[in-house]
Amino acid sequence: MPAPRILILGATGGLGRALYRHMASRFETISLTRAELDFEQPDKLSARLAEQEFDVLLNAAGMTSPDVCEVEPERAFVANAVAPQILAECCLARRARMIHFSTDYVFSGVQRDLWFEADETAPINVYGRTKLAGEQAVLKASPSALVARVSWLYGPDKPSHPDNIIQRALQTDDLSAVVDKVSVPTSNADISGWIEQLIIRHPTTCGVLHLCNSGVASWHSWAEAALEIAARLEVPVKTTCVRPVKLASLTQLKAPRPLLTVMSNARLQSLLGGEIRNWYDALEEYLVQKYQPQ
């Protein structure tokens, strides 16, 4: 059976870049940037996709800033719901597999320690609502599609929370991070490896699947872990201590954030046949590669 041809959308984002780097070394892979395939021009998507040769579409594109979505809900709906539906329809028509990336923000973040794929969704901001609408539209248009929910992504391609806290700690010992927002930090590199396995070993897996590392963290504990690892790697941070603050104190945020969105990766573990590593171990590997490259 020939190796599948991969098309990646959202190629300039952190996840899109990680996916391309991983897939391009293993499969015939092409990627399209927003300039090449603009989700805000949905009437042009079908024709643009028709020009591409692919067997699997990885959609990592969309509007991902909760605050931008909150103030521009119409744009967010087009990018996060309308465009993915068109992509799913195109994939169905050409019998290509679609893997569409979504978010833990589809959950309310209240009254639940652990969220499973079948749990009720109740997003509390425009970003979450438009991403949920996208999930539903994709699966309705193409029931064979896979919706992959992810949380708290990081990697070498775009600065994220651990990178930012380390950079701040190089300048000051006065650091703070939110202590009451809890989820699972997840490595873009790990996601790329899981996606490869899902493409090769599980070509018919569909529906919703949580793609996240194991364990639980707050923005605060994630920050202190990053600083502790950085200090051990002799990065000259001024402190490894971070002052805990409540999410409600961040009055500059335009969109409300769900507090507790720890997703279960039990289905992913069952599919891949092994334990998914803890977020701390994945973070440590990332920072070692960043600060002590071989």
282 contacts 217 by C-beta, under 8 angstroms: no
Q: CA–CA separation, 209 vs 267, rounded Å?
A: 7
Q: CA–CA separation, 217 vs 184, rounded Å?
A: 6
21 contacts 196 by C-beta, under 8 angstroms: no
Around Cβ 229, how many Cβ atoms within 10 Å?
Answer: 21
Q: Where are the alpha helices (DSSP H) in the chain?
A: 14-24, 45-50, 66-71, 73-77, 83-94, 126-141, 161-169, 188-201, 219-232, 266-272, 279-291
DSSP state string for 187-229: EHHHHHHHHHHHHHH-TT--EEEE---BS-EEHHHHHHHHHHH
Cα 86 to Cα 201, 247, 285: the distances in Å are 27, 36, 38
**Catalytic-role residue among 127, 154, 280, 286:** 127
In sequence order, the 6+-apart residues with CB closer than 8 A to the CB of 46 are 86, 89, 90
Q: CA–CA separation, 76 vs 98, rounded Å?
A: 21
Which element (helix H / strand E) includes 79?
none
Catalytic (active site) residue 286: no
List the catalytic residues: 127
